[in-house]
Amino acid sequence: MTKQLATKGKMPFVFGMVVFATLLITAPAGHAACKSPKNICKHFDDCLQRTSDPNNKDADGIRAGVKARNGQFVLGGAEACARDLGKKQQWDKWARGCSELELVQIARVELELGKVYCDRYSQ
C-alpha cells in the first residue's frame, strides 16, 4: 500500500517532464524561419562596407552584436543602417520571422566569409 502511494505522485511529474521535453524539441520547428536570408546577408554587407561616413556607427553595432552574440545589437545596427540607406521597409519585410539567433548567424557568416557566401542562402 505504501509503495503504491509513493509511486502515485511520480506519474504526473514524469508525464509532465515528457510533455515539456517534447515541447522544447518541437518549438524551434514551429517558428517561422528567415524568408530572405540572402537579402539580409547582402544588407549586412552593404552596411559593413559603408566607410565613407566617419559617424557611421551602424556597422559597429552589427560587429558588436556578432561578437557578443547579441541579436538585439545586430538588429539595431541593421535597422539603423536600413534607415540611412532608405531601405527600412525592405529591411522590415526581409527580417520578418527571423529570430535574433538567425540574424547573428547570418551577420557572422558575412563578417567572416564575405558577400560571396551570401549566395549560399536560398530565397
Q: For 63-92, write each residue's pLDDT tens digit.
A: 999 999 999 999 999 999 999 999 999 999
Burial class (CB in 10 A: 0-12, 13-18, 19+), 34: buried
Tell me, what DSSP letter sits at residue 57? -
Domain count, the chain: 2
**Is 71 found in the same domain as 19?**
no
Burial class (CB in 10 A: 0-12, 13-18, 19+), 14: exposed
Closest CA relative to residue 73, chosen from 64, 82, 81, 85: 64
- CA–CA distance from 91 to each of 14, 39, 123 (Å)? 45, 9, 15
The structure's pTM equals 0.69
**Is 15 found in the same domain as 67?**
no
What CA–CA distance (Å, rounded) separates 123 from 119? 9
**Is 82 found in the same domain as 24?**
no
> Radius of gyration over alpha carbons of the chain, in Å?
21
Q: pLDDT for 3-24, tens place per residue? A: 555 556 565 554 544 444 443 3
**Is 85 found in the same domain as 42?**
yes
- The answer on pLDDT for 95 being more than 90 is yes
**Is 51 found in the same domain as 21?**
no
Q: According to the model, what pLDDT value does residue 68 have?
A: 96
